[in-house]
Every structure is written in structure tokens, then in C-alpha cells.
Amino acid sequence: MARAESIDDDDGARLPQSLFDTVTAQEDEQPQRHGAPMWIVTFADMITLLLAFFLLVLSFSDLNETRFRDATGSLQKSLGREQADAPPPVRAPAPETRLAGGPADDTLPLPEQLARDLGKLQKELSLDIAGNRVVLKADQGRLLIQLPERSSGPLPQELIDLYARIADAQAQVETPVEVREGGAGDDRGVELARRVRELRDALAAEIAQGEAQVERDGERIVIRMAVQGSFYPASAELSPESLPMLRKIGEAIAKAGGRITVEGHTDDVPLSGHQRYRSNWDLSGARASSVADYLTGYAGVPRERVVVRGMADTRPVAPNDTREGRAKNRRIEVLVDASGG
């Protein structure tokens, strides 16, 4: 009778040969796994999705500096930091320049819709403008088309065709369009240009130093003064250095008629913890009032012609994200209505 062979296992016990062969075959059938475990793949996918989610959130986020300053100011006030030894509130650093620069041409920045419609009319009437048959310009929120004075009698076919082109172009814009005939508008434009030159000559020194600008905006003259050097910091009190320039302005605009509007403008840095002015609205209005008081009290401008407005930071002429831009936005504007009304 054949004897069954046996094999010793690791513990010294002897296993039958048939049982050993069975166990060995089962081990050979099991797949051999190599590398990282399977769960690491799912974990890596989750980390990748979280990273993509946070990148998406970050792309949508935006830091509002004004709200950040307001929040920090409110937090300091709640913590009782508004004391004598408390750090100063967040303010914009002092500008390095005054009012240097500004718009390259003699016009103020136009509202977006008005500028878009002006471009459309210029494109549609480009041949007529080049041929000096029409004069197109923006005038106090509307578009003005000036036509030359025509003689009496029947309309020539050329003028009829011109009116047809103007009507077609007018239908493509949203801004009101006014069509004028005759030379009255040209005469007024010549007079306005003369007054602008007179003001620029009178303020030549201040303009050269970047302390003032004189520009034309439609039927108005805009005299722009830099706040730096004209007022004490965070105050509406005029500095002695600004008085000679104000006297020149007052004497020049008092000779002509028309309403005079004095506007105060600031940058977008909010006032924090100021004892007298609660906001930029108060500060801009107070500065405009100080200029108006001087013009009417010492420069001969009639009080009934003057209107005062505090505009705060609602009408910037430059971006507020740079020191130079904030310096340009802190200004006083004297608007002279050239129509004489």
C-alpha cells in the first residue's frame, strides 16, 4: 500500500501532500496587487475637486477696499480704539502731485450713452462733417447739430438730402438731438472760446504749476482747482496760498453773466472718526461753500448767481486706485454757464 507523503509547515506540523497542493493552488489563483491601495485614488479625486472648488470661489471674490475700511473703522470703534493714543484711521497717503494731467482734450469725460451716440452720429455724418456742412458736438446732455444759415426761398436738393441723412442718423441714437440753423450758435461759440482764453491767461501761472485747469464743456466753462494747497488737510478752511487764485477767478467770472455753480469733489476714501464732518458729502459741501463765500464776499461775484453743491466721490475724473488718481479727484470745480441765463 502506497504511503501518503507529508510536508512540514512553518510550525513543525506535518501536512498531507494533497492538502499542501490544494493550498498552493489557491494562493496561485489569487491576483497579486502592487503599488498604493485602492482608496488613495478616491481620496486624490476628492482633493482635486476641493481644490477646483476653492479656485472657483476665489475667482468670484473681490476685495472692496471701501467696505474693508468701513468694517475696520467700525471694529475699532466697538473695541474702544478711538482714543488719544489710538492709531490714526485708514486714510489715503498724501499725493505726490497736485492736479497735473487730466483729460487730453478740452472736454470733460462724457457719459457712456452720450459718448456712444456721439460716435454713431459722427460715423453716419462723417462726409458732411468733413465737408463743413454740419458741426456736431455734445451740449449739456444732448447732441447738437449746427447747420449753416440758409437763404430764403425753396430748399435746395442738397439741403433736403442732408436733412434726410440727419433724420436717419437721429433714429439710431437714444440721446436727444437738436438741430440748429444760422450763425447764432457760432457767434456764441466764438465768445465762449474767447472767455476760455481769458481765463487761461489769467491763471497761466497756476495752470503751469498744476494747481488749476480751465476747460470747455458744451456751453459751460469749467475751472478746476486742486484741493491740495487750497485747503488744510481734512478741512474746509481755505489756505492763504489759494486766495490770490480765487481772486483772479472771481474777477474774471464776475464780468460776464450766467449762473455759477461751485462743486466740491473728493476721492472714495471714507472719513473715519472725524470730529466735524461725518462723511465726504459733508466735507465736499463745506469746501464748496468756503469757495463760494470768498467769491461773493471778496471777488465781486453776485450771490444770486452762485449755486453750491457737494458731490463727494460721485464724479471722479480719474481712477481711485492710485495716489495720482485720488489727487485729481480731490478738487473744486467752478462751472460758469456761458449762455448768460
Beta-sheet pairing, 14-16 with 260-265: unpaired
Length of the chain: 341
Q: State which fold the 112-182 domain adopts.
A: GMP Synthetase; Chain A, domain 3 (3.30.300)
Q: Which grid coordinates are listed for 31?
A: 491576483
- pLDDT averaged over every residue in the chain: 75
Angstrom distances, CA of residue 260 to CA of 150, 283, 328: 35, 20, 22
Tell which CATH classification among 3.30.1330.60, 3.10.20.440, 1.20.140.10, 3.40.50.150 matches the domain 185-337.
3.30.1330.60
Ramachandran assignment for 58, one of left (phi > 0), alpha (psi -120 to 50 degrees), beta (any other): alpha
- 43-71 pLDDT tens trace: 888 899 888 888 877 776 665 555 566 66
Of the spans 85-89, 188-192, 301-305, which averages the highest pLDDT?
301-305
- Contacts within 8 Å (CB) and 24+ apart, 167-170: 168/124, 169/120, 169/121, 169/124, 169/125, 170/121
- Rounded distance, CA 51 to CA 53, Å? 5
Q: Count of alpha carbons within 13 Å of 99, Cβ hemisphere only?
A: 24
Domain with CATH 3.30.300 in the chain: 112-182
Query: Tell me, what's the pLDDT at 25?
Result: 57
In the chain, where does the domain assigned CATH 3.30.1330.60 lie?
Answer: 185-337
Give tens-digit pLDDT for 308-334. 999 999 999 899 999 888 888 999 999
